[in-house]
Amino acid sequence: MSDLTPAPRTGGAEVARRAETGAPPAKRTSWLPAPAQGFGVTFSTMFKKVTTEEYPDVPKQTKPRYHGRHVLNRHPDGLEKCVGCELCAWACPADAIYVEGGDNTEDARFSPGERYGRVYQINYLRCIFCGLCIEACPTRSLTMSNDFELADDNRQDLIFTKEQLMAPLLPGMEAPPHPMRLGSDERDYYLRDPEPGSAAEPVVGERP
Ligand code: SF4
Ligand code: SF4
């Protein structure tokens, strides 16, 4: 049957059509009674491959580049990569990110350079996981993990704070504030050769 051929109408609609137009009855596609046709669909489906997901008993494995929950990454000495520039917030089409920058001082240093992200929030009621924010981040501070378990039963708990988004401290890292350990200025952090498997690489796995 071509796509332009109207599907045969049944029941009262078909009777009305024939009464209006005097057309002959629509051609039947099967000589089986309708209940037998219906159960035939059920019966044939019994032998098809089951696609049921056993989640949450069997966790879903995402693709490696799946866009899940965000992570704010750290340098290998534990200082934060975020410099509070707000570019991620400006890039976000859903207005889901809120950033307030703060000034580092010699007594309280959270990131290399002048500024750090003093307040950082992502509203997961707004986020559409497009990834534009991580493209905009100049320091690779902001990346996305594969974690997709973000459901909750209230609005407040879906606004994630900086403390929730920060990557965990790995071995060899020290919780900020502390002085710069990898060089005398911020360029030393960005111009050095990355070490394979270094803790400076973004966290892409599921957080504990
Ligand atoms: S993933 Fe897209 S919507 Fe979500 S915070 Fe980033 S830019 Fe905004
Ligand atoms: S996460 Fe990146 S883009 Fe956003 S404020 Fe921090 S450094 Fe800037």
Compute the distance from residue 133 Cα to the ligand 1 centre, in Å.
5
Average per-residue pLDDT for the chain: 87
Euclidean distance between CA atoms 181 and 149, whole angstroms: 35
- Among residues 132, 118, 108, 121, the alpha carbon closest in space to that of 83 is found at 118
Compute the distance from residue 88 Cα to the ligand 1 centre, in Å.
8
Closest atom of ligand 1 to CA, residue 88: 7
Least confident range of 12-16, 31-35, 204-208: 204-208
Q: Give, using CA atoms, the residue closest to atom 3 of ligand 2.
A: 137
**Share of residues in the chain with pLDDT > 90 (%):** 63
Which fold is adopted by the domain 70-191? Alpha-Beta Plaits (3.30.70)
Closest atom of ligand 1 to CA, residue 134: 6
Q: Give, using CA atoms, the residue closest to atom 2 of ligand 1.
A: 130
Domain limits, the chain: 70-191
CA 98 to chain centre: 18
Residue 11 vs residue 27, higher pLDDT: 27
Q: What is the DSSP letter of 114?
A: S
Q: Give, using CA atoms, the residue closest to atom 4 of ligand 2.
A: 88
* pLDDT (tens digit per residue) in 144-177: 999 999 999 999 999 999 999 999 999 989 999 9
* pLDDT (tens digit per residue) in 42-64: 999 999 998 888 999 998 899 99
pLDDT reported for residue 166 = 97
Report residue 12's pLDDT band, with 50, 70 and 90 as the boundaries.
confident
Note whether 74 and 83 are within 8 A (CB).
Answer: no
Q: Give, using CA atoms, the residue closest to atom 7 of ligand 1.
A: 92
Give the torsion through C-alpha atoms of 59, 202, 151, 131, to 10 deg.
Answer: -110
Model confidence, pTM: 0.74
Euclidean distance between CA atoms 46 and 9, whole angstroms: 29
Which whole number is the average pLDDT over 115-140?
Answer: 97
Task: Return the structure tokens found at 156.
Answer: 């407040």
Q: What amino acid is encoded at 4 in this protein?
A: L
Report residue 183's pLDDT band, with 50, 70 and 90 as the boundaries.
confident
- Among residues 183, 205, 122, the alpha carbon closest in space to that of 157 is found at 122
pLDDT of 100 strictly over 90: yes
Report the pocket of ligand 1 as residue ranges, CB < 6 Å. Answer: 91-92, 94, 96-97, 122, 127-133
R_g over Cα of the chain: 29
Note whether 125 and 155 are within 8 A (CB).
Answer: yes
Peptide bond into 177 cis (omega under 30): yes
Compute the distance from residue 95 Cα to the ligand 1 centre, in Å.
8
What count of other Cβ atoms lies within 10 Å of the Cβ of residue 70? 26
Euclidean distance between CA atoms 119 and 60, whole angstroms: 32
Compute the distance from residue 123 Cα to the ligand 1 centre, in Å.
9
Q: Give, using CA atoms, the residue closest to atom 1 of ligand 1.
A: 129
Count of residues making up the chain: 208
Report residue 206's pLDDT band, with 50, 70 and 90 as the boundaries.
very low
